[in-house]
Amino acid sequence: MLNLNNPEKSAFSDPISLNVGGQVYTTTLGTLTKFQDSMLGAMFKGELPLLKDDKGNYFIDRDGKIFRHILNYLRSSCLDLPIGFTEMPLLKREADFYQIRPLLDEIGQQEAQDVAGACSRSAVLSVDVNCQDRVLHFNWKRAPENYELFTCSVRLLTANVFCTSCAVVELLCRAFTYWTSGGAVSPLPLEGEPCYLRLEWTPRPPELTQEQYNKHRYRQLRAPCGREILDCRGLVEEMLKVALAHGFRVDSIFPDHSDILNSSSLRFVRYCTN
């Protein structure tokens, strides 16, 4: 059970225990309020209401695992991430929620370094795209007590991406954006497989209402320029732009090497001598 209260700053005493998404952390008031204008600063200055769990820990409904890196930054003012860290988009999202501006700036610098590193190593990149048509049947309410059976065809699009450089996969996660009923979301590599990325999206046909589109949890995919990707051809075109811009060249095309934009499978290579 969670209890909501709006404590005065004087009500806080060290040590302070936080339950963040089910994971408990213990720290000090000074650490949490290090950046006075952050969300945590406001929470623990008594400016925002706080929840407590049944054990008396202050509760924050955010990602508990990633909060470890948020807290360590508050303690040391250094962004020390483990080797092979693959959740930079999620860390950036959490840093934005907590409104820790210096951390967001450091994440931006780290992303720039990752892009530079990704462009300096040999790598192989493969992209496989697929499209399946599905027919939806649902009741459409025209008026009170007046329902009609409605039929609509939608396209379920997928792209399976693999790269021998995890940094390139992270770059692609930052380049593309899902648009859902809840707003914009960055894709993430497959859990435990930082070199693999699976994109799944469904453009909304004009005859499908936004309500039904949201009900089926469909989502759009947008290119780095913000343009909606409506088919496999559009995804291949955007992948070509990103890959060529980062030193790759086309190695193989299937099924027709003379029709690259309508291909279902692409393979890129990049050779670096240093």
pTM of the model: 0.59
Token output for 130: 């697929």
d(CA 171, CA 89) in angstroms, rounded, equals: 10
- The three-state (H, E, C) secondary structure of 17-67, written as one string: EEEECCEEEEECHHHHCCCCCCHHHHHCCCCCCEEECCCCCEEECCCCCCH
How far the first Cα of the chain sits from its last, in Å, is 58
Q: How far apart are CA 100 and CA 26, in angstroms?
A: 19
- Residue-by-residue pLDDT tens, the chain, 274 positions: 455 555 555 577 889 999 999 999 999 999 999 999 999 999 998 888 888 998 989 999 999 999 999 999 999 998 888 877 878 888 999 999 999 999 999 988 887 776 666 556 789 999 999 999 999 887 766 666 666 777 889 999 999 999 998 888 988 998 899 998 888 888 999 988 989 999 999 999 998 888 888 988 999 999 988 899 999 999 999 999 999 988 899 999 999 988 999 999 999 999 875 5
Nearest alpha-carbon partner for 180 in 136, 214, 223: 214
Q: Tell me the residue type at 80.
A: D
Q: Report the pLDDT value the prediction gives residue 47, as an integer from 0 to 100.
A: 86
Q: What does the alpha-carbon distance between residue 2 and residue 59 come to, in Å, rounded to a whole number?
A: 8
List, in order, residues 6 or more apart from 114 with CB less than 8 Å away: 88, 167, 170, 171
DSSP-assigned beta bridge partners for residue 44: none
CA distance 71 to 16: 12
Contact 238, 224 (CB under 8 A): yes
Q: What is the pLDDT of residue 271?
A: 87
